[in-house]
Amino acid sequence: MAGKKDYVNSVVSGNREQIEYHIKQILGLLGEDVEREGLLETPARVTRMYEEVFSGYEVDPREVLGVTFDEQHEELVIVKDIVYYSHCEHHMAPFFGKAHIGYIPSGKIAGLSKLARLVDAITQRLQVQERVTSQIADIMEEVLQPHGVMVVVEGEHMCMCARGIKKTGSTTVTSAVRGEFRTSAALRSEFLSLLKQ
Binding residues for Zn(2+): 88, 91, 159
**4 vs 90, beta carbon nearer Zn ion:** 90
Given the rule CB under 5 A, which of 46-54, 58-66, 127-135, 157-165 is the region that contacts Zn ion? 157-165
DSSP label at 90?
T
| Contact predicate 176/137, CB 8 Å | yes
Is residue 45 within the footprint of Zn ion (CB under 5 A)?
no
Residues 6+ apart with CB under 8 A from 172: 129, 154, 155, 156, 157
Give the H or E element holding residue 129.
helix 129-144
How many residues bind Zn ion, per CB under 5 A? Answer: 4
Active site members: 88-91, 129, 157, 159
Residues 8-27 that bind Zn ion (CB under 5 A): none
Which CB, 105 or 155, lies closer to Zn ion?
Answer: 155
Confirm or reject binding of residue 132 to Zn ion (CB under 5 A). no
Q: Which is nearer to Zn ion, 65 or 88 (CB)?
A: 88
The annotated binding site is made up of 88, 91, 159
Nearest CA among 47, 37, 46 for reference residue 17: 47
According to DSSP, the β-strands at 126-127 and 107-110 are unpaired
Told to check if 91 binds Zn ion by CB under 5 A, we report yes
Question: Do residues 78 and 187 make contact, with C-beta atoms less than 8 angstroms apart?
Answer: no
- HSE, side-chain direction, 13 A CA sphere, residue 154: 11
Q: Does 90 bind Zn ion (CB under 5 A)?
A: yes
What is the rounded distance in angstroms from the CA atom of residue 56 to the CA atom of residue 88? Answer: 14
**Minimum gap (Å) between residue 93 Cβ and Zn ion:** 5
Helix axis angle, 112-123 to 129-144, nearest 10°: 140
Q: Which residues share a beta bridge with 67? A: 110
CB–CB of 153/173 below 8 Å?
yes
Of the two residues 88 and 122, which places its CB atom closer to Zn ion in the complex?
Answer: 88
Choosing from 39, 44, 159, 192, the residue that interacts with Zn ion (CB under 5 A) is: 159
Residue of the chain from 88, 119, 150, 152 that contacts Zn ion (CB under 5 A) = 88
Binding part of the chain for Zn ion, among 54-62, 89-97, 111-119, 178-186 by CB under 5 A, reads: 89-97
84 DSSP β-pair partners: 97
| Interaction of residue 195 with Zn ion, rule CB under 5 A | no
Residue nearest Zn ion (C-beta atom): 159
Contacting positions for Zn ion (CB under 5 A): 88, 90-91, 159
